[in-house]
Amino acid sequence: MSDLKITGLTKSFDKLEVIPPLDLYVPDGSFTVLVGPSGCGKSTLLRMIAGLEVPSSGRLELSGKDITQAEPADREIAMVFQSYALYPHMSVERNIEFGLKLARVDIEERKRRISEAARMLQLEQLLERKPAALSGGQRQRVAIGRAIVRDPKVFLFDEPLSNLDAALRAKMRVELAELHARLGTTMIYVTHDQTEAMTLADQIVIMNKGKIEQMGSPIEAYDRPATRFVAEFLGAPRMNVSEQEKAKSSGAFALGLRPEDIGIVQNQTQNSWQGRVRLVERLGAETIIYTDTDGFGDLVVRAKSDVQVSPNDVVHILPDLSKAHRFGEDGNRIDP
Amino acid sequence: MKNASPVRGFISSFVNGPWPWLIPALGVLLLFRGYPLGNQFWLAMTDMKIASGDASFVGFENFSFLFSDPNYLTALGFTILFTSFSVFGSFVLGFGLALMLNRQMTGRVIYRMGILTTWAISSLIVGYIWRLMLNESSAGVLNGLLEPFGIGPVPWLSDPNMAQVSVIVADIWRSTGFTMIFMLGGLQTLPNEVLEAAKMDGAKGWQTLLYIVMPLLKPLIAVALIFSTIATFNVYELVLALSSGGPGNATSTVGFEMYRTAFGDSMNAGLGLIGRGAAMGVSMFLVTLMFALIYIRAGVFARDLD
């Protein structure tokens, strides 16, 4: 069992409280993604789990053992950094070997683990190279290799894909998912990219201003956002949220509608709204229509690619109100 | 065809190449670096004296004299000793201080400025400051401090061995600030995540220093050592002010010996041998050049770092 239990963890820098008391449970073998805008405290939380940052108070337990005060290397936790943080003067092999050497693992065992990791990560041809001679994706794999050989109970990833270009990012995302499936090790992953969060996580933790807004399965968070913040954070284009007349008439402070839950119709009906088209983005597979809708305001609609609209057209908009999200003035979800 | 003649071809490639652009800079270098250097090599092969100013060519006579000149050889021996200890001492101390000041601590800026000040002071003044501090009567700060403990008076500058130690310590004091600020600059460029990765890998403080920080700073360390070796090897003002090379010539360095030979001093009215002094200067130039080449090979131009 390598589950991580965080209770009452806080972090303050001088008088600034970055993380108010926070509880989080990461089950054994889970792929937990911490996601939120920059400055939300997700990296600080990860660094406290790693032991690189000392918590101001609270408790960290790994497999039931208190590790709050343990040295980073004694936690059985490995970390992959955003910049990969490879040792530039060492070859790939020595980079991977460094931690094992320090842990006084004997040479035969070191060799065995390095070659196993190299095979798994397709690094066999690159072992003699210096990091400077590697591509971004290869460096990323070396960083992962360095983490794997130590056979940790938990892997931490700090925005590991943010330095890669879009195509490579998608590829590495798949590789990471496969790696998790193969190793079955608990992974905690920090990102500000909601696509990574949605696709990789089995548990998503959405953070804002140091607090956890919601945690659970990604689909649950998407379908039933607990707060207005989560609603607007997950999804692209993001959810339309309005505090205007349509919200009032639905009995909420704010009304949220996902772009895909709205249709454009030919004829006015009893339930249709009227709006003026501001901009049309044709993406090929779909078309995004930006409108200004009476009683709602800015409203983005995700429509089929062949929809016939142009800017300044007046259109009839039919929202699927059964899928609408209602929020109170405190930002919390109101359930019907 | 006229245009195809080799001379024309050479001229046009010269005019169109990089050289015309370099002429101003090269001109300045030749005038202010090349000419004095060449002139010194020339003087080193003459018997020019400061009194007469006449010079006639004597070939390598001045150089062969150096090898049998006890004053020069003693000075050379002490200079090597002095440079080794001073460079090593100021590097260890300067790097140590840099490591200390690289952390978050209160008053960091004040410490940094204070330590750097020693380097900003003229060597001549450093020499006088230390001479005052090492004054052997109880008026001297150090002996004054030691007196209540029944120690002393310590012959800081009148005992030959003690004087050598004193000169070396004073020079370490002078040059530590430079090494510190230089290495501190280097430490602050190290990527923080790499150091944290080492921490996650289980490296203790000294292991991080030895396996990560030092190798990454290797080029910088080489540069710091070159600079401080050259500055230390050529020192003469400090010696002039602190010990005047004495007692006897126990603390005379090659730079000081060159100064004394070429321009004379009150105790050696017979000197003033410009040609012989120039030959000593040339010997210093060659040694300095050798150090520079060694250190350059040792890693200044190491390109394997990203």
Per-residue pLDDT of chain A (336 residues; tens, 9 = 90+): 789 999 999 999 888 888 899 999 999 999 999 999 988 889 999 999 999 999 999 999 999 899 999 988 888 899 999 888 999 999 999 999 999 999 889 999 999 999 999 988 888 899 999 999 998 889 988 999 999 898 899 999 999 888 888 888 888 899 899 989 998 999 999 998 888 899 999 999 999 998 999 999 999 999 999 999 999 999 889 999 999 988 888 888 999 999 999 998 888 888 899 999 999 999 999 999 999 998 899 999 999 988 888 899 899 999 998 999 999 999 899 986
Query: Would you state the pLDDT for residue A230?
Result: 94
Nearest to A123 by CA among A148, A159, A157, A155: A148
- % of chain B with per-residue pLDDT over 70: 92
Please indicate if any CB of chain A lies within 8 Å of the CB of B304.
Answer: yes
Q: How far apart are CA B218 and CA A145, in angstroms?
A: 27
Q: DSSP assignment of A80-141, as one string?
A: E-TT----TTS-HHHHHHHHHHHTT--HHHHHHHHHHHHHHTT-GGGTTS-GGGS-HHHHHH
CATH code for the domain defined by B53-305:
1.10.3720.10
Q: Residue A146 corresponds to which amino acid?
A: R
Tokens read off for A276: 């003026």
CB A294 within 8 A of CB A275: yes
Quickly tell me which residue has 């190491």 as its tokens.
B302
Find the range with the poorest average confidence among A78-92, A198-212, B146-160, B196-210.
B146-160
Tokens read off for A197: 């969060």
Please indicate if any CB of chain A lies within 8 Å of the CB of B30.
Answer: no
Please indicate if any CB of chain B lies within 8 Å of the CB of A174.
Answer: no
CA distances from A274 to A248, A267, A297, A299, A314 (A): 17, 10, 11, 11, 7
Tell me the range of A275-289, B66-80, B269-283 where mean pLDDT is highest: A275-289
Please enumerate, as own/partner, the contacts of B213-218 that have beta carbons within 8 Å and a separation of 24 or more: B213/B187, B215/A89, B216/A88, B216/A89, B216/B190, B216/B305, B217/B183, B217/B186, B217/B187, B217/B190, B218/A89, B218/B299, B218/B302, B218/B305
Cα angle value B81/B86/B88 (rounded, 5°): 100
Domain limits of chain B? 53-305
> Pick from A51, A73, A131: which is nearest to B306 by CB?
A131
Would you place residue B10 in the very low, low, confident or very high pLDDT band (cuts 50, 70, 90)? confident
Alpha-carbon torsion, ordered B254, B257, B261, B266, to 10 deg? 170
Q: How far apart are CA B225 and CA B288, in angstroms?
A: 12
Q: What are phi and psi of B71, to 5 degrees?
A: -60, -45
Q: Are residues B202 and A99, on separate chains, in Cβ contact within 8 Å?
A: yes
Q: Is B198 a residue whose pLDDT tops 90? A: yes
> Pick from B191, B201, B304: which is nearest to A89 by CB?
B304
What's A226's DSSP letter?
S
Helix (H) or strand (E) holding B187: helix B160-189
Find the range with the poorest average confidence among A257-271, B57-71, B146-160.
B146-160
Would you place residue B304 in the very low, low, confident or very high pLDDT band (cuts 50, 70, 90)? very low
Would you place residue B157 in the very low, low, confident or very high pLDDT band (cuts 50, 70, 90)? confident
Query: Would you state the pLDDT for residue A171?
Result: 87
Please indicate if any CB of chain A lies within 8 Å of the CB of B202.
Answer: yes
All residues of chain B having their beta carbon less than 8 Å from the beta carbon of residue A72 are 199-200, 202
CB A305 within 8 A of CB A325: no
Please enumerate, as own/partner, the contacts of A243-251 that have beta carbons within 8 Å and a separation of 24 or more: A244/A295, A244/A296, A244/A297, A245/A295, A245/A296, A246/A273, A246/A295, A246/A296, A247/A296, A247/A326, A249/A295, A250/A321, A250/A324, A250/A326, A251/A326, A251/A334
Would you place residue B57 in the very low, low, confident or very high pLDDT band (cuts 50, 70, 90)? confident
Q: Which residues 48-77 of chain A have a CB within 8 Å of chain B?
A: 50-52, 71-74, 77
Cis status, amide bond into A88, omega within 30 of 0: no
CB A288 within 8 A of CB A298: no
Alpha helices in chain A (DSSP H): 42-50, 92-102, 107-120, 136-148, 166-183, 194-200, 218-223, 228-233, 245-249
pLDDT digit string (tens) for A203-262?
999 999 989 999 999 999 999 999 999 999 998 899 999 999 888 888 889 999 999 999
Query: Would you state the pLDDT for residue B299?
Result: 57
Query: Would you state the pLDDT for residue B159?
Result: 84
Q: Is B1 a residue whose pLDDT tops 50? A: no
Query: Would you state the pLDDT for residue A221?
Result: 93
Whole-model pTM: value is 0.77
Which of A14, A48, A98 would you mutate first to test chain B, the one with the most B CBs within 10 A? Answer: A98
- Beta strand pairing status for A154-158 and A4-13? unpaired
Q: How far apart are CA B53 and CA B262, in angstroms?
A: 12
